[in-house]
Amino acid sequence: VNADLSPEKAAAHAAEHWSKVTTTGSVRGRWWQVPAVVRHINERVCGEPLNGLSAGARQWVVDTIPGLPLDRGIAIGGGNGVKEMELITAGIVRSVEVFEVAPARVAQGKDVATERGLADRVTFHERLLDPGEDIGRYDLVHWNNALHHMLDVDEWLAWSRRVLNPGGVLLLDDFVGATRFQWPRRQLDYASSFRRTLPDALLVDHRYPDRLLPREIVRPTITQMLASDPTEAADSGRILASLQRHFPEAEVRETGGVMYHLALSDSVANFESGVHDALLEVALLLDDALSDLGETHYAVALARLPDAAHRKARDLDRPPEPNPGVEQGARVLGQRTRARGLRLWRRARQRVLGIVTTIRSRN
Ligand SMILES: C[S@@+](CC[C@H](N)C(=O)[O-])C[C@H]1O[C@@H](n2cnc3c(N)ncnc32)[C@H](O)[C@@H]1O
């Protein structure tokens, strides 16, 4: 994977791209700008529809990990480090080191840390880290929408285990969907079948208001992906399998995305609060169903290394073997959640058709 891309070249391009995003602001119509979607995701992760990006992941850590705060944390691709600052304020970790290649993001992060009185607890490193470099040991490794920007995710998950102290914690909240956004046919069909039901008013392209967004969702080409950011979803399709390899003790909570990331992409900018709430709610129900069917774009994972097992793993320089009992349990559970997913999907799609018919008759 990505054999022709050097990490240095990719990171230089990413630095330019992400500095531009920071200074010009991101486009409208993205799921993370929609509070109802963020609450939905948080509820899937921790059981409560909390406000704020990654609030569910933080709550999960607080509910699960004993003896907080952890001492030293590290994040690669931490952007402006705000999510790491939130880990500090939530009492999860005392201090964090953030590695980030985009200068504008680091500059912004330093200002925010100062404003929040956290400048002595967040250290920014504006450079590319080599996974072979000895940087010491940490108690928390935090990946937030950044592991999917690494060219070789397996190498970075192996690194994550290596740099953790015994009893250390891995918290990952990331895009785990198709590499280079090469969506599987199934996901394109699910997303397009929802999109086809939407009335024109919800498909107005906010960048060109006289045009409609396409009803058929298609894959971007690899050339388009490489031109915009060569680190985007560079190896994301391998994250869940590599996680299982290096952190067999990790618990994974799939947070979906086929609906809110694919089907509603750009269109969601047209949804008005109080007017289209029911439609959004059903789209999110469908999203749940698809996650249960194993179609997810995002996931949150939490792992705590047991002291002895971790030492043994490090001595042998390989992670512990997966427990076959756990795998068998997961398979049975997988079959059950898939059956639930299918039932949910059929019920929710019927409701979408009903709601859309009502919207159409009102217009
Ligand atoms: C999607 S952003 C996420 C930022 C932050 N974690 C957040 O959630 O707000 C991905 C970030 O990874 C950075 N990045 C990409 N490749 C990197 C690398 N090899 N080392 C460090 N940062 C990198 C980009 O500059 C960008 O700021």
pLDDT computed for residue 241 by the predictor: 97
Q: What is the model's pTM?
A: 0.88
What is the per-residue pLDDT for 315? Answer: 46
Ligand 1 atom nearest residue 75's Cα: 6
252 contacts 240 by C-beta, under 8 angstroms: yes
Cα-based angle 129, 162, 121 (whole degrees, multiple of 5) = 60
> Residue 172: beta bridge partners?
143, 301
| pLDDT of 123 | 98
Output the pLDDT for position 325. Answer: 53
Which segments in the chain show pLDDT lower than 70? 1, 3, 25-26, 308-333, 356, 358-360, 362-363
Report which ligand 1 atom has the smallest distance to the Cα of 53.
8
pLDDT at 12: 86
- Residue 177 in contact with ligand 1 by CB distance below 6 A: no
Q: Is 102 in the pocket of ligand 1 (CB under 6 A)?
A: yes
Angle formed at CA 232 by CA 291 and CA 38, multiple of 5 degrees: 40
Whether ligand 1 lies within 6 angstroms of the CB of 109 is answered as: no
pLDDT value of position 125: 98
Query: Is the CB of residue 11 below 6 angstroms from any atom belonging to ligand 1?
Result: yes
pLDDT digits (tens, 9 = 90+) for 269-314: 999 999 999 999 999 999 998 998 889 999 999 999 998 644 554 4
Question: CB-based contacts of 157: which residues, under 8 Å, 6+ apart?
Answer: 147, 239, 242, 243, 245, 246, 247
Q: Compute the distance from residue 4 Cα to the ligand 1 centre, in Å.
A: 21
